[in-house]
Amino acid sequence: MTTHSELAPATERGLFIDGTWRPSSDGRYEEVVNPATRQVFGRAALASPADLDDAVAAARRAFDHGPWPRMTLAERASAMIRLAAELERDIEPLTQVALAETGLAVAMCRDGAQGIPQFLRYAAGLAGTIALTEERTAASGAKVLVEKVPVGVVAAFIPWNAPLKLAAFKVPSALLAGCTLVLKPSPESPLSLHYLADAAVRAGLPEGVINIIAADTEVSQALVKHPGVDKISFTGSTAVGKSIAASAAGSLKRVTLELGGKSAALVLDDAPVDLVAGSMAFVLPLNNGAICAMPSRLVVSERRKDEIVGALATALEKTVVGDPADPATQLGPMINEQHFNRVMGFIDSARAEGGTIVTGGGRPEGMEDGLYISPTVITDVSPDSTAAQEEIFGPVLTVLTYRDEDEAVEIANNSKYGLAGAVYSGDRDRALEFARRIRTGTVAVNSPIGTDPAIPCGGFKASGYGRELGPEGIDDFVETRSVFL
């Protein structure tokens, strides 16, 4: 078993700009705190406005004058496979750094470390199946080339909750399309992404294709508005996403937004109770509950509520909460005290609204000083309550009841969000019928969540717009140009 005392030593990194590491020009660094120990793990340089200009200029030169956008799909794919191979050499140290900066269970960190090379290899494989140029015949009889050309310099914002996995949602598609990148990780968890920079150097990617800068709010806002940036790819909260969309509108930048969620798991009356309880008990602790596609609303009939909630509570009581470095741990700490207090605030507001805390609701016994929250199930609140409407982003599940199936669909769709959802039924065709009535970008049948590099994902409504992953993920990084011959 790996303990925190055996983790890699404290890490200090600068800014990766134009193929080299450099310090912040104004000497600012952000301390990176291990959520499990609440001790400083490392330091990351924070970009100044001058550093930001340099990073965008490097990406701009690499796009306007460098070889990357002018390579064939096959050439870019070959470079991406080399990048994947270099990252695979670093799986274990990358896992350990991610573990220390995020507090996620070690299995989740390893999954994220393996995800970037996996997604790179998938995207590279698309080079042989997609065409960026198509010859058509116009109505006039003229020959026309319809081309998909890279959109340009991409500013990609990576959130703190899953930096490796969510970088994998953006970087491979952008690279295959021929774009250059300025990656902006969160100062909360900036260090693991630096392995991507080291791997890019070893893989021989041209300088300036990938640049990585952590930054505070002011500099991040300047990145959105920067005239040298052609596209924003953002994953994060809906509130920040709205602000980015408004800022980007001034220069008509292209924008992809993958925002918040309040997904519903709709349980039909013929669904096996063990399947539902097991699925929810599995998914609730994942990523310490900080998954935007988390099915955080369980919609069950009044007839089966007690049966399903009882089975779920029993299953959740077996959840191992503790040191994320322990392979047995399923649920680690919240990322910081501010987020811990935010999640606890939602639980307290549910109590104030008359909700019943079936299990959890606070720190586990014996962990009174840590940032840990037991898996929590809330019942007896209305579909319009705060607990049922707001994204909690922690290991908290709200149970809502319906009287008939039309009401069940109404409750599932009663959300400003539309990122993901699930339907449980003993009849697959019947589940599919209801899945098609759920207004979300992704719906899983008899499973709590669905993600795959070959399958597009994205949201409806306040969960954003644009799609990531799959062949469709390339489309958000290209422009279409018609050339009349």
In the beta sheet, which residues pair with residue 133?
147
pLDDT at 368 over 90: no
pLDDT at 5: 32
pLDDT at residue 7, as a whole number: 37
Kindly indicate the confidence band of residue 4, based on its pLDDT and cuts at 50, 70 and 90.
very low
Domain with CATH 3.40.605.10 in the chain: 4-259+463-484
Biggest CA–CA distance in the chain, Å, is 78
Cα angle, residue 322 at apex, residues 278 and 419 outer, rounded to 5° = 50
CB 47, CB 215: distance < 8 Å: yes
**Checking DSSP bridges between strand 376-379 and strand 356-359, what pairing results, if any?**
antiparallel
Instruction: Please give the average per-residue pLDDT across 223-242, as a whole number.
Output: 97
Q: What is the mean pLDDT of residues 54-63?
A: 98
> What's the confidence (pLDDT) of residue 484?
95
The model's confidence at residue 334, banded by pLDDT at 50, 70 and 90, is very high
Averaged pLDDT for residues 431-455: 94
Q: Are 399 and 378 in contact (CB under 8 A)?
A: yes
In this structure, which CATH number among 3.40.50.10440, 3.40.309.10, 2.40.37.10, 3.90.1560.10 belongs to the domain 264-452? 3.40.309.10
Across the chain, how many H-helices and E-strands are there?
15, 23
Average pLDDT (59-73) is 98
pLDDT 10s digits, 271-280: 999 999 999 9
Gap between the Cα atoms of 121 and 208, Å rounded: 21
Q: Is the pLDDT of residue 2 over 70?
A: no
Q: What is the pLDDT of residue 10?
A: 44
DSSP H/E element including 478: strand 478-484
- Which of 394, 375, 280 has the alpha carbon at shortest distance from 334? 394
The secondary structure of residue 109, as a DSSP letter, is H
* Res. 8: pLDDT tops 60: no
In angstroms, the first-to-last Cα distance of the chain is: 65
Residue-wise pLDDT for 176-220, tens only, equals 999 999 999 999 999 999 999 999 999 999 999 999 999 999 999
Rounded distance between C-alpha atoms, residue 310 and residue 305, angstroms: 8
Q: Which pair of tokens denotes residue 183? A: 């990656």
CA 402/CA 407 separation, integer angstroms: 6
Rounded to whole angstroms, the Cα distance separating 126 from 74 reads 9
Q: pLDDT by residue (tens digit) across 369-422?
A: 889 999 999 999 999 999 999 999 999 999 999 999 999 999 999 999 999 999
Contact criterion met (CB below 8 Å) for 163 and 185:
yes
pLDDT category, 13, cuts 50, 70, 90?
confident
Is residue 341's pLDDT more than 60?
yes
| DSSP per position, 96-129 | HHHHHHH---HHHHHHHHHHHHHHHHHHHHGGGT
Q: Is 258 a catalytic residue?
A: yes
Strand partners, 267: 424
pLDDT at 471: 95
**Can you give the pLDDT at residue 369?**
84
- Does 1 have pLDDT greater than 50? no
Predicted pLDDT at 11: 73
Structure tokens at 148: 């998909």
CATH 3.40.309.10 occupies which residues in the chain?
A: 264-452
Percent of the chain at pLDDT > 70 equals: 98
* Residue 211 · residue 58 · CB < 8 Å: yes
For residues 289 and 448, the answer to whether their CB atoms sit within 8 Å is no
Residue 6 has pLDDT above 90, yes or no: no
pLDDT above 90: residue 114: yes
**What number of other Cβ atoms are within 10 A of residue 384's Cβ?**
9
Give the pLDDT confidence score for residue 282 in this predicted structure. 96
Given 30, 86, 101, 258, which residue is catalytic? 258
Compute the average pLDDT of residues 77-104.
96
User: CA nearest 39: which of 62, 19, 10?
Assistant: 10
CATH superfamily of 4-259+463-484: Aldehyde Dehydrogenase; Chain A, domain 1 (3.40.605.10)
